[in-house]
Structure 1
Amino acid sequence: MMEEKHKLALKRKIISNLKDYGVIWHEKTRQVIVEDFREVQRKLAEQTNSKGQEYKSKVQKYLAQSSDIDISRINPYLVMVESKTEHQRLWAYATSYWSVPVTVGYGRRIRYFVFDRQNDKLIGIVGLCDPVIGLGVRDDQSIGWTKDQKMQRLYNCMTAYILGAIPPYNKVLGSKLIALTLMFPKVRKDFYQKYKDSPSVITGENKKPYLVYIDTLGAFGKSAIYNRLANWDFIDYTKGQSHLHITANGSWELIRQVVPDDVFNSYKFGEGPNWKMRILKRGLRELGLSEDMLSIGWQRGYYRCTLAENWQKYLLGDTNQVVWKDFTHRDLVSYWHEKWVTPRLDTLQTNLELELDL
């Protein structure tokens, strides 16, 4: 009897948590009602990201003033994020500008600071993590692989779970530049070096760590960052399921209480998002709630960035040889200046001058 009372209390608390962030669960229709997705995400982001602002004084030396930037001389370089305290503080500070909840990434993870060579100030950040195991828009519409093919080659894919510029670089199309940095040869080479001796979590095999495919999701529908950007292709929208409106509002630990340890641990396969979704579904069922609570209708644009000429043949297992696309640091930065900056230089300069200094 006490167990059922406890479950009922948890159920009520989860529904209350949702309501606090603008998500209404309609018990009779078994539907989630959301009036303003952006407002929901903004509130969740305040909960998960805002604490990074407390580090501003400690990371000030990395932050640009508008007067530090000559737009025509912006030239990015990548620094891999390390576990040292200074890096963690700077990362936390940068993520505090995100208007959607920022997760820590799943499984394998590579994070970069993107600095400007002209002043050694932070342009923005990018983080790669293991991709979702099951994603229809990728599996069916983008790659077109079978389940067996995916299990063999998903290892060669990563997801950009966070990507963007911070002020004042966000006012001069810095996020588009950061998206281009993922094509720097350094990224695929760093990936190879980091994972060349690491067996795949899924198969246990020592696979060739060739990073041939990077994908990402727009925060709300399509994203201006990737629109008309070289080598970034929009494929379609996701179906609208999400866990963030539950896991980022304080309810993850509540649901965790009703999932048996053996189930919780057995599902921790690669520590990917699918594992979290499965745990949530199990927990919601245990509490007498519905899996439909995950169908929030938050459709996100799906984008891919391919690093190999024969990326699809490689991911389908039709070849074991990778033919890399001929990207260079110099060409990518030149493209950004010529395509996006020079034609808009006066406008971007005005944006920069109007930006309040950090």
Structure 2
Amino acid sequence: MKLNSSQRKLRERIIRVLKDQGFKINPHVRPKGCSKTTYRRVQQKARFEQLSLHKKILIDSIKKVRDYCRDGNEIIPEKISLELREIQPDSFEEILFRWWNLIWWSIPYQRSYGRQMRFLLWDTTHDAPFGLISLQSPVLKMSVRDNYLGIPKNELDIWVNKSLNAQRVGALPPYNELLGGKMVALTLSCDEIREVYREKYKNYISIIKGRKLKPELLFITTTSAFGKSSLYNRLKYNGEVVAECLGYTQGSGSFHILKELYEEILKFLLSIGINVARGYGHGPSRKLRLISLGLHHLGLPSFEYHGIKREFYLFPLVKNLRDVIQKRKRPNWLSRPFDKLVDYWKERWAIPRAERMPEWKNFKSNNFFKKTEKMLKEL
């Protein structure tokens, strides 16, 4: 379509903002390099945008969060005792979850869609948050997943609605230096998450086709942060593979289209008569579809592809997942109690790491929070 003056300006602005973030355009969008440092850099602007949007609540919460963060030398690895807490709205745990979710990771926070569950791993011995898990509805179509599992196209809504995607998985300081991320990743496969899901969604009806589905959580998927994952790679429990790598994503997403640009794209779509309804009932793919449509009409096809390909991982919660999907077999559930996973993680990773690399003791809570508070006030 022929663009008018304001539409051309929007097109030029999108290109300029992408270049400012560290992307090259030749003619497609790609990072200027393929190192993890480069990948972090191109996501920095989107991250700071989210921090700015939540600046007040982050600063207001900082004292409460700091009270429950421990110095590295306060942690006794062999005495770590964890419990899994589901996040309830307006709870103390939600305050901590929201703060760390925005602050700690270089990948910017993105709002969850559809079915959602959030968990906080809590170290009861040291009275401190250990790690976060954020689960949400997965996208309906994902070729690397659908081909591997052999999901019939007319049954996509059934099996996708018996799964969740892990949007955030990781350990908090100082536990991250004790390979706490391995523990959080193991937790994705625990019995307790499956049981919480069963209770929470016992009356769930699929929005897409109005089917009432059994509240069975059969598998969880997730992606690496940057390219190959050290967190999920070779993740095992008692010799069993916990996370199966199915390949790489195509490198599409929406983080590189900043919120302000997204709002301008929506206004542009409305101006040319396109429905931009979103929210409940439209699924997690809606934002990306609208961005793709807007970019296409602006003469920027495929600009939703940012070029950062991520490893795609599957966490089966049953032993016979493909038979359940392809042959309608009864699920043969894996048995992985959370407390057993904790014991395994401590013996396999935490204690050996603590003895081999004592740098984890160097984390100073006050230094971290002073630096973080200064950064927030300068935004």
TM-score, normalised relative to structure 2: 0.85
The answer on 1:223 being equivalent to 2:232 is no
- CA distance in 1: counterparts of 2:177 and 2:137, whole angstroms: 30
| 1:315 maps to which of 325, 336, 346 | 325
Match of 1:356 in 2: 364
2:31 and 2:308 in contact (8 A); partners too: no
Corresponding residue SS for 2:256: helix
Determine if the alignment matches structure 1 residue 17 to structure 2 residue 17. yes
Show the 5 A alignment for 1:17-36.
17-26=17-26, 30-35=27-32, 36=38
How far apart in 1 are the matches of 2:15 and 2:149?
38
Q: Distance in 2 between matches of 1:300 and 1:9?
A: 32
- Which digits, 9 at most, give the CA deviation of each residue in 1:119-159, with x for residues without a partner? 2210111100001111111111x312221232221111100
Structure 1 segments unaligned to the other structure (5+ residues): none
Q: CA RMSD in A?
A: 2.1
Find the counterpart in structure 1 of residue 105 from structure 2. 98
**TM-score normalised by length of structure 1:** 0.90
Separation of aligned partners in 2, 1:351 and 1:235: 34
Secondary structure in 1 matching 2:303: helix
1:165-184 to structure 2, matched below 5 A, reads 165-184=171-190
Q: 1:181 to 1:344 in 2, by over 3 A?
A: same
- Per-residue deviation, 1:59: 2.2
Asked if the contact 1:143–1:315 (Cα under 8 Å) also holds between the matched residues in 2, the reply is yes
Q: What is the letter of the counterpart of residue 324 of structure 2?
A: Y
**Structure 2 residue 352 is matched with structure 1 residue 343:** yes
1:143 equivalent in structure 2: 149
Aligned position for 2:335: 326
Structure 1: how far apart are the matches of 2:160 and 2:245?
20
Counterpart of 1:326, as a letter, is: S
What percentage of aligned pairs have identical amino acids? 29
What is the number of residues matched between the two proteins? 347
Cα deviation for residue 89 of structure 1 reads 2.8
How far is the alpha carbon of 1:213 from its aligned partner?
A: 0.3
The yes-or-no answer on 1:121 pairing with 2:159 is no
Local SS of the residue matching 1:244:
coil
Bigger drift between 156-165 and 179-188 goes to 179-188
Question: What is the aligned counterpart of 2:266 among 248, 256, 268?
Answer: 256
Distance 1:85 1:262, change over 3 A: farther
**2-structure distance, mates of 1:249, 1:333:** 39
**How far off is 1:166 after superposition?**
1.3
For 1:268 and 1:109, the matched residues in 2 are separated by 14
Q: Is the 8 A contact 2:30 2:306 kept in 1?
A: yes
2:42 to 40, 43, 49: 40
Q: In structure 2, which of residues 71, 77, 83 is the aligned counterpart of residue 77 of structure 1?
A: 83
Aligned to 1:295, which of 288, 305, 308? 305
Letter in 2 for 1:340: W
1:288-320 deviation digits (Å, cap 9, x = unpaired): 22222122221101111111112222233523x
- Bigger mean CA offset, 269-278 vs 123-132: 269-278
What is the rounded CA distance, in whole Å, between the counterparts of 1:343 and 1:356 in structure 2? 22
1:187 counterpart residue number:
193
